[in-house]
Amino acid sequence: MPETKKAAPFFGCMIQAKYPQFESAVRFSFDKLGYKLVDLDGFTCCPDPIYFQAFDKLSWLSVAARNIAIAEEAGLDLITACSGCTSSLSETNHLLKNDENLRERVNARLAKIGKKFKGTIRVRHIATVLRDDIGYEKIAASVIRPLTSMNVAFHYGCHLLKPVEIMNVDDPQHPEILEQLVKAIGANPISHRQRILCCGKGCLDDDLPPKMMFDILTSVENESPDCLCLICPTCFDQYDMGQIRMKKIFDRKFEIPVVYYFQLLALAQGADSKTIGLQWHRTKTKEFMEKVAALSG
């Protein structure tokens, strides 16, 4: 009998302290897929790849390396459930494995708290674990309620894909991983024109991000999907709350329900609606909630 696959989950601040329903959905799904998540103590913020890194890169690398060192001590790969955490932890892992000078500088700091970065584990985005360790077929086999009635638009988000040499997930211009994941749960994947446009979350400006959001939401709306599916809680934050901001800024009402991929996967695997927590989302439509109710009822 093959050994059960296992790794340490890194959920990050956004999921753990703002959208715990995503954590609940991930835990439910991984259990159904027979993949063991081994929780480790002591993780802090990844830390934030935009603002924290902008303040001081060496501090940013050191805090990220501390998180990686905890997984190294346990001899487990890290699975990140947020593309922002992936960005911080993957880039740190990559830089410190390849740049001896940087590694020494970071380890000099880590030594003060009795830790060391060794470069012995991998940091993996949760979507790649689904694709590469579990496989689309096994995901499909775990589905007991295929979402055949649902048209699911998807949006990638920058930090899942770029930089390619570090992320190594998919072609950033022509990605297909999310489309395949949506297909695996029986839903109809809906592409849209701006599917790889940046959401603007990392831009410190008042005007630009809303304009970018407006274009993406218009592009999604043109395809009339039942919902918009994302693989990152920060993207979720941007689109779920963002639609309310669109109303204020442009007086334009968007009503596109937004979901984190694992909520749909868990739903398809038989989770009840409480486990996936859709009731806490800001943008809901009657049609979508009825489809979800029909599936879970």
Partner 1 sequence: MTVAKATKNVISKQSSGFDLHVYRIFTVVLNCQILNFAEKSLFTTVSISIFTGSKRIMVQVYLKFRDKLAEMIGGEMHNLCYQCGACVGDCPAARYSDDYNPRLIMLKTLLGLEDDLICENSIIWKCTNCFNCYERCPQKVKPIEVIIALKNMIGLRHLEPSSVDEILQSVRQSGRTVLVNETVIRRREELNLPPLKDLPVKELEILIHAEEDKE
Query: Which residues sit at the interface with partner 1, rule CB under 8 A?
Result: 13-14, 16-18, 20-21, 23-24, 27, 39, 41-45, 47-59, 61-63, 66, 102, 105, 108-110, 112-113, 158-159, 162-164, 172, 197-198, 200-205, 207-209, 211-212, 274-275, 277, 280
- Report, in Å, the least distance between residue 112 CB and partner 1: 5
Q: Give whichever of 56 and 290 is closer to partner 1, judged by the CB atom.
A: 56
197, HSE (Cβ side, Cα atoms, 13 Å): 20
Angle, in degrees to the nearest 10, between helices 83-98 and 57-74: 90
**What is the H or E stretch that residue 101 is in?**
helix 100-111
For residues 76 and 8, the answer to whether their CB atoms sit within 8 Å is: yes
Residue nearer to partner 1 on the CB measure, 46 or 227? 46
- Least separation in angstroms between residue 258's CB and partner 1 is 17
CB 90, CB 167: distance < 8 Å = yes
| Between 184 and 258, CB nearer to partner 1 | 258
Nearer to partner 1, 54 or 141 (CB): 54
Q: How far is the CB of 48 from partner 1 (least distance, A)?
A: 5
DSSP 230: E
Rounded distance between C-alpha atoms, residue 8 and residue 143, angstroms: 24
Question: Which of 211, 224 has the CB closer to partner 1?
Answer: 211
Q: How far is the CB of 25 from partner 1 (least distance, A)?
A: 9
Name residues whose C-beta falls within 8 Å of residue 111's C-beta, 6 or more positions apart in sequence.
none
What minimum distance in Å lies between the beta carbon of 84 and partner 1? Answer: 9
Q: Which long-range contacts (CB under 8 A, 24 or more apart) does 285-288 make?
A: 285/255, 285/256, 285/257, 287/226, 288/226, 288/227, 288/257
The least distance separating partner 1 from the CB of residue 105, rounded to whole angstroms, comes to 6
**Choice between 52 and 136, CB closer to partner 1:** 52
